[in-house]
Amino acid sequence: MSTTLTFRFEEALVYATRLHARQRRKGSDIPYVSHLLAVCSRVLEYGGGEDEAIAALLHDTVEDQGGETTLQEMRLRFGEDVAAIVSGCSDSDTIPKPPWRERKERYIAHLPAATPAVRLVSMADKLHNARAVLMDYRQQGEAVWGCFRGGREGRRWYYRAVLDAFKSVETTPLGAELERVVGELERETLKH
């Protein structure tokens, strides 16, 4: 099935770029929008429609760019379906955020009951993040863990637990790709 992207997608792309304009990927000078584009690309490649693609562009806005207020604005601009996907992909909508492990455990627990659209966007997000951590680890070694709450063990636990939550519901090609990357990350980081 072919997905047609309309003016809504273009508006979301501009909106996400503006919201994250000053943000960079952890431990780098890479503009944050690169992550949003990568997640959106995976969502479209794995069968997502326009609402899922828009949600992929906006999936971190609630956590990083204004919480519930941003979610309400997003609902008005892009509709309830997009807002529901973004909300389902967010582990916090408050500032300051709750403790890292608590947020992650709550997020993982909700994944099996999440909608297929939330799982698609979330899986694409986790795939890009895990791949970026693996690439950074290969370049920086153990120093990479200083950028992340939970450190090496926390990251390994998180990606494995997220993967297991997805696998408890369904087996998909995107999930298989995530499993491959998580496995590489586990094998390479076990060496140290």
| pLDDT band, residue 61 (cuts 50/70/90) | confident
Backbone angles phi, psi at 177, to 5 degrees: -65, -40
Angle of helix 7-19 versus helix 67-78 axis, rounded to 10: 160
Please tell me the distance from the alpha carbon of residue 35 to that of residue 170, in angstroms, as a whole number: 25
Specify the pLDDT at position 115. Answer: 97
Residue 130 has pLDDT above 60, yes or no: yes
Tell me what the mean pLDDT of segment 35-62 comes to: 95
Encoded tokens for 181: 């990357």
Q: Distances in Å between the alpha carbon of 61 and those of 17, 54, 65, 90, 112?
A: 10, 12, 5, 9, 23
CATH hierarchy code of domain 7-190: 1.10.3210.10
Tell me what the mean pLDDT of segment 4-20 comes to: 94
Where in the chain are the domains?
7-190
pTM over 0.85: yes
- Residues belonging to the active site: 63-64
| pLDDT band, residue 177 (cuts 50/70/90) | very high
